[in-house]
């Protein structure tokens, strides 16, 4: 407690642990970047949103770009983990396809709108940002490629091509769905996209001679 005018006592601001303060600053920065884009966002605005002084902000992040890259790393890792998790969650390939599609729709539909940092960045020409965005595409494709290889025995180049089709279709459809005002209920949209992808993937034979499934199984 510190003395104030009139003999009143005022409480000092709570000193957060470094990890908690970093999390608070990232959350504030995300709100500003999502609302205004990178170029229009100001460190003053971020500090004000976080309720800290600019020196405190700069203690954790030396500049606006470093703050933006830290957010990108967090959300790029999250979408890759979601897709990889869908591949590992079930031995059933139909469920894997559904899970991968759901991962993209969940990411796009999250209330934080973090997808805008990854897929709609106004800083895509920066090499460090571009590298992270490309890592999302490559990481998601790699997660699906591994599953296709283990299940079908296709060559890596063939499996990677199929995986890029799956990831591309799911990601583009989710972005289109969101941009067009969610006119189709989310669960229905996911099922439609999963059905389209499954009708292609299911035709490839599994190792051992059977196919991955029949198109009628999805739904």
Q: Residues 104, 169: one domain?
A: yes
The answer to whether position 135 is within a domain reads: yes
The answer to whether position 210 is within a domain reads: no
Q: Percentage of the chain surpassing pLDDT 90?
A: 62
pTM: 0.78
**Tokens 């289109």, residue located:** 176
Residues 15/7, Cβ–Cβ less than 8 Å? no
Q: Residues 38, 76: one domain?
A: no
Residue 14 has what pLDDT?
A: 63
Q: Residues 136, 197: one domain?
A: yes
Bridge partners of 9, per DSSP, are 3
The DSSP string of 116-163 is HHHHS-TTTTSHHHHHHHHHHHHHHHHHHHHHHHHHH---HHHHHHHH
Residues 96/217, Cβ–Cβ less than 8 Å? no
Q: Residues 47, 115: one domain?
A: no
Q: Dihedral, CA atoms, 151, 218, 183, 34, nearest 10 degrees?
A: -20
Q: Residues 138, 118: one domain?
A: yes
Q: How confident is the model at residue 164 (pLDDT cuts 50, 70, 90)?
A: very high
Q: Residues 76, 179: one domain?
A: yes
Separation of alpha carbons 187 and 59, rounded Å:
44
The answer to whether position 83 is within a domain reads: yes
Q: Residues 72, 58: one domain?
A: no
CATH code for position 47: 1.10.10.60
Please give the structure tokens belonging to residue 122.
Answer: 């106004």
Residues in the chain: 219
Range of 81's domain? 68-201
Residue 125 has what pLDDT?
A: 86
Q: Residues 47, 90: one domain?
A: no
Please give the structure tokens belonging to residue 55.
Answer: 């020196």
Q: Stretch 77-96: mean pLDDT, rounded?
A: 91
Mean per-residue pLDDT over the chain, rounded: 85
The answer to whether position 214 is within a domain reads: no
More confident residue, 218 or 171: 171
Q: Residues 107, 36: one domain?
A: no
The answer to whether position 165 is within a domain reads: yes
Most confident residue range from 36-40, 148-152, 185-189, 194-198: 185-189
Please give the structure tokens belonging to residue 149.
Answer: 């290889």
Residue 25 has what pLDDT?
A: 95
Separation of alpha carbons 169 and 194, rounded Å:
9
More confident residue, 50 or 216: 50
Residues 219/211, Cβ–Cβ less than 8 Å? no
Q: Residues 130, 195: one domain?
A: yes
Q: Residues 151, 89: one domain?
A: yes
């Amino acid at each position: 407690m510190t003395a104030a005018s009139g003999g009143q006592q005022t409480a000092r601001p709570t000193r957060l642990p470094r990890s908690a303060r970093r999390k608070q600053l990232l959350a504030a920065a995300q709100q500003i970047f999502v609302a205004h884009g990178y170029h229009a966002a100001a460190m003053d605005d971020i500090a004000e949103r976080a309720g800290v002084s600019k020196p405190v902000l700069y203690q954790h992040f030396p500049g606006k770009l470093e703050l933006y890259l830290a957010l990108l790393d967090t959300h790029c890792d999250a979408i890759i983990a979601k897709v990889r998790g869908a591949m590992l969650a079930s031995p059933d390939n139909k469920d894997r396809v559904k899970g991968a599609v759901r991962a993209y729709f969940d990411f796009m539909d999250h209330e934080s709108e973090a997808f805008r940092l990854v897929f709609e960045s106004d800083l895509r020409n920066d090499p460090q940002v571009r590298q992270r965005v490309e890592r999302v595409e490559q990481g998601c494709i790699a997660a699906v490629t591994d599953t296709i290889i283990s299940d079908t025995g296709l060559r890596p180049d063939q499996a990677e091509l199929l995986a890029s089709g799956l990831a591309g279709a799911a990601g583009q459809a989710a972005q289109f769905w969101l941009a067009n005002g969610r006119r189709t209920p989310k669960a229905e949209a996911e099922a439609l996209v999963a059905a389209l992808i499954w009708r292609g993937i299911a035709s490839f034979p599994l190792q051992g001679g059977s196919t991955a499934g029949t198109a009628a199984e999805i739904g």
